[in-house]
Every structure is written in C-alpha cells, then in structure tokens.
Amino acid sequence: MTAARALAASIIDAVSDGQSLTECLETFLPRLKTAKDKAFVQAICYGVCRFYFRLDVLLSYLLEKPMKAKDSDLHALLLVGLYQLMAMRVPDYAAVTETVNATDDLNKAWGRGLVNAVLRRYLRDKEKLETQLDEEVESQYSHPLWWITSMQQAWPDDWEKILIANNSHPPFSLRVNARKKSRDEYLKTLSSLNEVIDIIPELPSGLTISPALPVEELPGFMQGQVSVQDGAAQLAATWLALAPGMRVLDACGAPGGKLAHILEIEPALDKVIVVEKDLKRIESIKENLTRLELNADIHCADAADVNTWWDGKPFDRILLDAPCSASGVVRRHPDIKLLREQRDIAKLAKEQLHLLSSLWPLLSENGILLYVTCSVFPQENEQVLKAFLAAHSDAQEDKIITSIGFSREIGLQILPGELNMDGFYYARLKKIPSLNS
C-alpha cells in the first residue's frame, strides 16, 4: 500500500496548507483502486488530523533540524508514518518499510534514510517520548495552544473533558423521518448487527447506532425514512415550537438537515423559506429534500441582504444556524483544529451579530428566533446574544426549559460528548409586541 501512504501524505500536506479534509478526500481518494486502500487512507488522514499537534511536536523531537517549506510533503509523510506506529494496528516493520518506500511516490527518494531513521528512533525511544509529550498541554491534548487557553478560560471545570471529547470518534446518529415512520417502527428494520446505543428522550425521532454504516446500507435511507444527524442538531426543530400555519425561515440552510427536520415534524406549516449563500451547497439542500420528499422555497442569497430575497411578509419562526468556528464538531471534522485561527473567532462573531441584526426585523411580533451555533467559544454565542439584546429593546430571551446542556447567562451550551452529542449553543429570542400595536 505504498501509493496509499504517499496519497495520505499529500492530503495531510494540503490540509496543513488550509484545505478542508472532506474536500481533499473527495479529490484524492478516487485515485485509489480498492475500497480497502480508500478506507486505510481515510483512517490515517482522520487520525493524523486528530493528533496533528501531538505528532508535530513528536516529530520536532526526532528531527535534528526542521524540514524546509519545500519538503512539506515529506514532513506530512513523517506524520503519516508516526501515526501508524503510534495508533494503528499496522505491524511496525510494515509501517516503516512502506512509509520509507512512499518517498519514491513523492519523488523524494533522497528522504528514504531520513524517514527510516526518524521512525526507527521513535520505536526505540517510544516510552520516553510519549511521556515527554504529556508534559506540554499542546501535545498532551493535541490542540493549538490558543484554543486550549480559550477553553480553560471559558470552561474552567470542563476544558479537559471538552478537549478529550474533541479527540474521540463521533457516534453515528440518525433521525427517523416522522412523516414516514416512528422511531419504534424504524428500530424494527435495523439489523441485529447494529447495536442501538442511545435514545435521547427529548428527541422523539433520534437514535445512535453502532457500528456506523455507509448511508446506502442504512435501511430505508434511499426511501427517505431516515437521515444522518447528530442529536444536538435535532434539538433545533424541537425547540422552535412549531405549529400549523406558521411561516418559517431557515436563514443559513445547507445542507438542509435542520430544514428537513422542521418539515418532517410539522407538515402543516404555511410556508418554509430557506436561504443559503453558497450555490454549490444549494444542491445538497435539493438532494436532501428530494430524497425525503419534502418541499421548501429555496433562495441562493446572503441572508443578511434581505432586499434580495424577502417577500416582505413577516416570519413566525426564524432559525439562524449561523456560520461559526465549528469548534463543537471537531470529533467529526478534526481538521478544524488545523484550519481555524484565533483571529477567525472575532470575525465570525461580527458576522453572526450582523446576520442576527439583519434578520430580526423579519420576525413577527411574538415570533421566535432560534440562534444556533456548533461552537463552544462564548464569543460566538452568549457574547453575540448579549450585544444583540443590548441594542434591541424589542427582543427578550425565551428561556429553553430542558435538562440538557449548561444554562448560560443567555442561552444554553451543550458541550461535545454530553449524551454522546456534538457541542452546540442554543438561544431562543422572542419579539415583544410594540406598545402601539
């Protein structure tokens, strides 16, 4: 599997350069012939991203001098080699030989000796090196230092739990389409090979199963009976308090998971409008709605630029699932730790406040706006809401009553791993009627 390791190194190199892991896998994996090779490369790439900050420090211990920028592919290959020795069930001799051979595929045969020496030195001094790695938080928890510091400040009692959860494997959670089947009915269609791990009482249609399956193998998937969606994401439609006849806006809609859930649980809505600014992602909304046999008015626009898409009629419910750091879903997207920079958080908070302020006038009196992020940074969550409420006297918090999550000054935070769910923030706002109406 030499070519596979070189390919994994090219993917890691591209991710270190700022590309998303999902996109890189979509581009690179088709170059491999067998499903086994594809699964192997995928497992290496997810693993290297998950433990990048540990592996990178480890590599710095093992190199006499840092690699030159033009050899970033070889640097990535060394991480790929170390990850196999550290965490995979590949026999040590095979991992070393095949990683050394992969230098040829990268046209860096001069690096054979270096790769061989680094990997063998790790094997020789493994115990000592692993102990050394646990002495620094960055390598111990495999996160950037700024991220760890932010978590320590925001979550003094839980930061360690959050970081550990971020490095764990995500559960495989499903949402049964209430228009087609109840959860109990769907459970009967599952093979006895799939163990049902969790059924969260607040989620009438949610369940978590193990092991994960390719979606095509999920019973009823193609017939729209079921979708893949984390439990925390399923709380959005539940907490919108929908009722027949309502006009609903989903302001940042792709790929349409929460939108579909809204349509599944309240079939008698008057109108549902979904806005998404990324044209490519509009396709994912259409695919999901078609598979689930659901309908909504789809607009490709910047939701904040309301004059370009709004018909002037107020909404009873607005879901603002705002673009965010995605720091609550690192289990599913471990490359986020490499891609995100500290300065992104303030930029995102500005964008979130702008979206919230632009959409607020579209909400009817007594209407509800549900603000959601999959972030655990308070700057994107309660701090945005605090700034918004300070500037809008017609807005007040409509507290969500639940035993889930941590109640914050405004809204509530679910931390990654709670009830096996992703990290999400929720705040519900109500529009106070004006005195002269």
List interacting residues with ligand SAM (CB under 6 A).
233, 252-258, 275-278, 281, 302-304, 321, 323, 355
CA 237/CA 261 separation, integer angstroms: 6
Report the nearest approach of ligand SAM to the CB of residue 304 (Å).
5
Report the nearest approach of ligand SAM to the CB of residue 219 (Å).
22
Q: Which of 24, 45, 252, 374 is catalytic?
A: 374
Token pair for 162: 């959050």
**Is residue 172 a contact partner of residue 211, using CB atoms and an 8 Å limit?**
yes
Report the nearest approach of ligand SAM to the CB of residue 380 (Å).
11
CA 430/CA 292 separation, integer angstroms: 31
- The half-sphere exposure of 154 on its side-chain side, counting CA atoms within 13 A, is 24
DSSP-derived pairing of the beta strands 315-321 and 363-373: parallel
Report the nearest approach of ligand SAM to the CB of residue 254 (Å).
4
Give 276 or 422: the residue with its C-beta nearer to ligand SAM: 276
Alpha helices in 174-308, H assignment, sequence order: 183-189, 231-239, 257-265, 279-292
* Peptide bond before residue 170 is cis, with ω within 30 degrees of 0: no
Residue with tokens 């806006």: 249
Output the residue with the shortest Cβ distance to ligand SAM.
252
SS3 category, 160: helix
CA 273/CA 250 separation, integer angstroms: 6
- What does the radius of gyration of the chain's CA atoms come to, in whole angstroms? 24
Report the nearest approach of ligand SAM to the CB of residue 112 (Å).
44
**Is residue 370 a contact partner of residue 317, using CB atoms and an 8 Å limit?**
yes
Report the nearest approach of ligand SAM to the CB of residue 8 (Å).
28
Give 162 or 274: the residue with its C-beta nearer to ligand SAM: 274
**Is residue 118 a contact partner of residue 62, using CB atoms and an 8 Å limit?**
yes
Give 100 or 176: the residue with its C-beta nearer to ligand SAM: 176
φ, ψ of residue 214 in degrees (nearest 5): -60, 140
Give 73 or 266: the residue with its C-beta nearer to ligand SAM: 266
DSSP-derived pairing of the beta strands 395-397 and 297-300: unpaired
Alpha-carbon distances of 109 from 80, 117, 237, rounded to whole Å: 17, 14, 55
Give 6 or 252: the residue with its C-beta nearer to ligand SAM: 252
CA 148/CA 342 separation, integer angstroms: 11
CA 130/CA 413 separation, integer angstroms: 34
Task: Kindly state the helix (H) or strand (E) to which residue 316 belongs, with its residue range.
Answer: strand 315-321
Give 47 or 253: the residue with its C-beta nearer to ligand SAM: 253
Report the nearest approach of ligand SAM to the CB of residue 429 (Å).
17
Give 195 or 297: the residue with its C-beta nearer to ligand SAM: 297
Judge whether 45 counts as a catalytic residue.
Answer: no
**Is residue 233 a contact partner of residue 258, using CB atoms and an 8 Å limit?**
yes
Burial of 167 (0-12, 13-18, 19+ CB in 10 A): middle
Report the nearest approach of ligand SAM to the CB of residue 96 (Å).
42
Give 230 or 382: the residue with its C-beta nearer to ligand SAM: 230
Q: How far is residue 190 CA from its own chain's centroid?
A: 26
**Is residue 55 a contact partner of residue 140, using CB atoms and an 8 Å limit?**
no
Give 319-334 as a DSSP string.
EEE-----TT-TTT-T
* Catalytic residue numbers, as ranges: 374
